[in-house]
Copies of this chain bind each other. A is one copy, B any other.
């Protein structure tokens, strides 16, 4: 079932069929109607490979995520919600969003290189940015339109969107200090991924703002998972001169923290102040309620999509945003997990 069959069936040329289907102006309204009707009746849809080959464009946008790192950490509906936002924009332009999975035993750089060189997609959204990220340099060099979800030191002038790690760190420390805490731990993730640097730097700056000395012993690092939280909490409890509060780089950690505290006969909040990161569905149902920050991931997705289109020649006029480098604001959601310190 190709365009040829359809044309034959209608007794017109394939050129006209193509024009009719693609909404060209120079086609007789009646002809167009006939073509559209026949296409529908026969269930004809243009073969993607044929179109792509001819047009030099695939009408596909790839969103790469890593099945190892991100998955286990973000755990919840993080990406799905972002995807949904991205799609609402792309749908308007008949662009298809496909998710390209970089599996646990695949190198992210190789993966992107393969995707690009096969010309699988017209544009790319990549996530889990490293502090130095060769993918970014590569994409710039090859001139592939892309946006990153997350900052990086690499590349300079590309578009990115990132969560407001600085704001969260600063606001969390300020809030805890206001509530009497001075010994505030940080539950961070392993180095490599850029956000760990951003978050820790902001935490240090915030401490300094409040005249609190930085103590590397209470900056802990682990996996961003529920289990990671459990283990970090254990480390924290074992510390001499135990911190009275902790700021988490990710809300998944909170689940493990709560559990470990319970096992130790301690109550989150009362015995250890905790400020989580994002208000996730799981975090919402912790008791006591976790103090955390809200953002619309759907809107992040929308903005990612628009930023990408702004870098694509075929769409940049519709989205004259230039290079987007946006730190996405997050709004405090006060909970019960960080009450004032009892003396």
Contacts and interface: CB of A to CB of B under 8 A. Distances in A.
B282 A226 contact: yes
Q: How large is the interface on A (under 10, 10 to 19, 20 to 34, 35 or more residues)?
A: 35 or more
A48 interface: yes
B119 A48 contact: yes
Consensus secondary structure, chain A interface: helix
A88 interface: yes
B100 A98 contact: yes
A100 B83 CA distance: 11
A190 interface: no
A20 to B, nearest CB: 17
A320 B79 CA distance: 36
A75 interface: yes
A255 B280 CA distance: 12
Interface stretch (A153-161, A257-265, A323-331): A257-265
Contacts of A235: none
Contact of A226 (B48, B81, B87, B285): B285
A103 to B, nearest CB: 4
A284 B256 CA distance: 9
Interface stretch (A8-16, A66-74, A198-206): A66-74
A227 interface: yes
A96 B120 CA distance: 11
Interface of A: 43-50, 52-53, 58, 67-68, 71-72, 74-81, 83-84, 87-88, 91, 96-101, 103-106, 113-114, 117-120, 225-227, 229-230, 252, 255-256, 258-259, 262-263, 281-282, 284-287
Given A72-B80, A75-B77, 4 more contacts: A49-B52, A88-B105, A98-B100, A259-B287
27 contacts: A43-B113, A45-B118, A46-B118, A48-B52, A48-B119, A49-B49, A49-B52, A67-B87, A71-B80, A71-B81, A72-B80, A72-B281, A75-B76, A76-B79, A84-B103, A84-B104, A87-B101, A88-B103, A96-B120, A98-B98, A98-B101, A225-B281, A229-B285, A255-B281, A256-B285, A258-B287, A259-B286
